[in-house]
Amino acid sequence: MQVLSNSGKLAMVLGTRTILLHSNHRFPPSLTHFNSFPLPSLQSQPNTTASSGMFGDRYFPMPRHSINTIMSKICFSKKAGTTSNGILTGRHRAAIATADVCDSNAELLANGDLRALDPLFKMYGQCLAFSGSIVTVKVFEDNVLVRQLLESKGNGRVLVIDGGGSTRCALVGGNLAQTARDMGWAGIVVNGCIRDVNEINGCDIGVRALGSNPLKSNKKAVGEKHVPVRIAGTLIHDEEWLYADSDGILISKIKLSV
């Protein structure tokens, strides 16, 4: 764990939960030990566990979780890999930041070859940044075609699901997200809802969605694959390129590089 004394912040990642304590939420002086480690010593103990603590004269238990730095969740440094059967895994990451892309591609932005999606999407999954060639599917409260695509080889691509913006049911759940990761999809963007949020947040894949809903979708196999879709104010075509990170989502007609 790194203590940011200059900015007055301490970031702790407890399992999949992140607690950010700003300068106006400091640790009291009497909160000094976790598992007999003084707080300063935790700076060199990034993978220790916290199971108890002291506040004044009182002892209180804490659930055991691994403590890691927030930066451990940022995925720019991970590389692609393959499974035993040769399927390219979902460990693809954006090589460039979306803000840098916008700053260095004014001409592409001006002529519409590079577009930013409206900031409607919430971030899910362990991978905060991902990119890849786009595969589109258009459905409405029915995820059969979504499953068919995610059960096929992803080869580092990104599935863009136009669910019509419906939030009345989920189009992707935890099992399907894990299947997508195993089949080599880099990410999933859902113009609709997901479910099994905790499972998806534990999965090494990037997911964007409007929100979550515990209800499952219909199973009538109604929809279209590989067709233009309009999502978040942008027309998106099959085989265009998508770049996503914490700043937002970009769509490009061409593969970008730095």
Q: What value does the mean pLDDT take over residues 168-196? A: 98
Q: Report if residue 93 sits inside a domain.
A: no
Contacts of 11 (CB under 8 A, 6+ apart): 1, 2, 4, 18, 19, 20, 21, 69, 70
pLDDT tier, 180 (very low <50, low <70, confident <90, very high otherwise): very high
The reply to whether 170 and 120 lie within a common domain is yes
The reply to whether 46 and 108 lie within a common domain is no
pLDDT tier, 57 (very low <50, low <70, confident <90, very high otherwise): low
pLDDT tier, 92 (very low <50, low <70, confident <90, very high otherwise): very low
**Residues 220 and 145 sit within 8 Å (Cβ to Cβ):** no
Say yes or no to pLDDT of 75 above 60.
Answer: no
Say yes or no to pLDDT of 60 above 60.
Answer: no
pLDDT tier, 187 (very low <50, low <70, confident <90, very high otherwise): very high
The reply to whether 119 and 66 lie within a common domain is no
The reply to whether 107 and 52 lie within a common domain is no
Say yes or no to pLDDT of 2 above 80.
Answer: no
The reply to whether 42 and 130 lie within a common domain is no
Q: Report if residue 198 sits inside a domain.
A: yes
The residue segments making up the domain with residue 119 are 98-252
The reply to whether 54 and 103 lie within a common domain is no
Q: Report if residue 258 sits inside a domain.
A: no
Q: What value does the mean pLDDT take over residues 4-20? A: 36
Q: By CB neighbour count within 10 A (0-12 exposed, 13-18 middle, 19+ buried), where does 159 fall?
A: buried
Q: Report if residue 116 sits inside a domain.
A: yes
Q: Report if residue 109 sits inside a domain.
A: yes
Q: Report if residue 61 sits inside a domain.
A: yes
pLDDT of residue 141: 98
How many domains in the chain?
2
How far apart (Å, rounded) are the C-alpha atoms in residues 258 and 97? 10
The reply to whether 36 and 102 lie within a common domain is no
Q: Which CATH number does the domain housing residue 202 bear? A: 3.50.30.40
**Residues 191 and 163 sit within 8 Å (Cβ to Cβ):** yes
The reply to whether 116 and 57 lie within a common domain is no
Q: What value does the mean pLDDT take over residues 206-216? A: 98
The reply to whether 68 and 186 lie within a common domain is no
The reply to whether 227 and 171 lie within a common domain is yes
The reply to whether 41 and 109 lie within a common domain is no
Q: Report if residue 78 sits inside a domain.
A: no
pLDDT tier, 257 (very low <50, low <70, confident <90, very high otherwise): confident
The reply to whether 14 and 107 lie within a common domain is no
Q: What value does the mean pLDDT take over residues 50-72? A: 41
| Statement: the pTM of the whole predicted model exceeds 0.75 | no
81 or 100, greater pLDDT: 100
